[in-house]
Amino acid sequence: MRTFIAVELTSELRKPLVALLRALPRTREVKWCTEQQLHVTLKFLGEVSDAQIARVCAAAAAASAAITPFRMRVRGLGCFPSPRNPRVLWCGVEDPTGGCQQWVRQADPLFDELGFKPEGRAFTPHITLGRSRSAAGSAVMREVMEAAEPPRTPEMLVDHVVVFESRLLPGGAQYYPLATVPLAAQQGG
């Protein structure tokens, strides 16, 4: 099953993002995300066998045990790979204590041991809004970046991460939580 680990967004943090998504131009050239798809991916694993899921959840728990809860908010718009040729439009994540990056640094060696290599590029926490594979879609994304008012959200407390299964369905990807893993201060009894 396709698997990833992410920060779930609170409903308060989602509201301005959903308002922005509703205001974006409807076009076949860009696949905009749904509200249910909004999250901050910390680690994309890809295909994971049923036999590996318990070890994946254990690695996520071990990484999370080293991270104390932290606060984040959404600030600004950005894109990958470049503003001249955007293929992914996203909202940036303001994470003053670097909690997302700390989690990734803790997790990478643990997942490497399980056969999931670290990303080859620097980790940039973000919330994907839409994707395109065409020049026309890139043009739409450039227009959005020039015209859209970047959302400003309230802070949210990140006190857990979620291991998700991603099922690719005709209407788009659907995400199903496999495990909720608390961060350090929330563990124990």
- 3-state SS string for 140-178: HHHHHHHHCCCCECCCEEECEEEEEEEEEECCEEEEEEE
Structural contact between residues 123 and 101, judged by C-beta atoms closer than 8 angstroms: yes
Dihedral over alpha carbons 49, 54, 60, 63 (to 10 degrees): -120
Is residue 33 in some structural domain?
Answer: yes
Mean pLDDT in residue range 120-139: 93
Q: DSSP letters along 34-80, please? A: PGGG-EEEEEEEEE--GGGHHHHHHHHHHHHHT---EEEEEEEEEEE
Residue 158: both structure tokens together: 């990140």
Residue 186 tokens read as 């929330």
Is the N-terminal amide bond of 81 cis, ω within 30° of 0? yes
**Predicted local confidence at residue 188, as pLDDT:** 46
Q: What is the CATH number of the domain that holds 150?
A: 3.90.1140.10
Task: Report pTM.
Answer: 0.92
pLDDT tens for 165-184 read 999 888 788 999 999 999 99
Mean pLDDT of 89-105: 96
- The rounded percent of the chain whose pLDDT value lies above 90 is 88
For the segment 133-153, the average pLDDT, to the nearest whole number, is 92
Q: What length is written for the chain?
A: 189
Classify residue 130: in a domain, yes or no.
Answer: yes
The mean predicted confidence, pLDDT, of the chain is 93
Asked if 96 and 71 count as a contact pair (C-beta separation under 8 A), the reply is yes
pLDDT of 133 over the 90 cut:
no
The string of pLDDT tens digits covering residues 50-80 is 999 999 999 999 999 999 999 999 999 999 9
Report the alpha-carbon distance of residue 153 to residue 94 in Å, rounded. Answer: 10
Which of 128, 119, 107, 129 shows the shortest CA–CA distance to 56? 107
Lowest mean pLDDT of 22-26, 38-42, 118-122, 131-135, name the range. Answer: 118-122
Q: Is the pLDDT of residue 186 over 90?
A: no
Reported confidence tier of residue 185, pLDDT bands at 50, 70, 90:
low
Q: Give just the sign of the alpha carbon dihedral 80, 84, 86, 92.
A: positive
- Does 189 fall in a domain? no
Question: How many whole angstroms separate alpha carbon 126 and alpha carbon 19?
Answer: 17
Count up the domains in the chain and report the number: 1
Residue numbers of the domain that contains 178: 2-184
CA angle 73/74/80 to nearest 5° reads 135
In the predicted structure, residue 187 carries a pLDDT above the cut 50? no
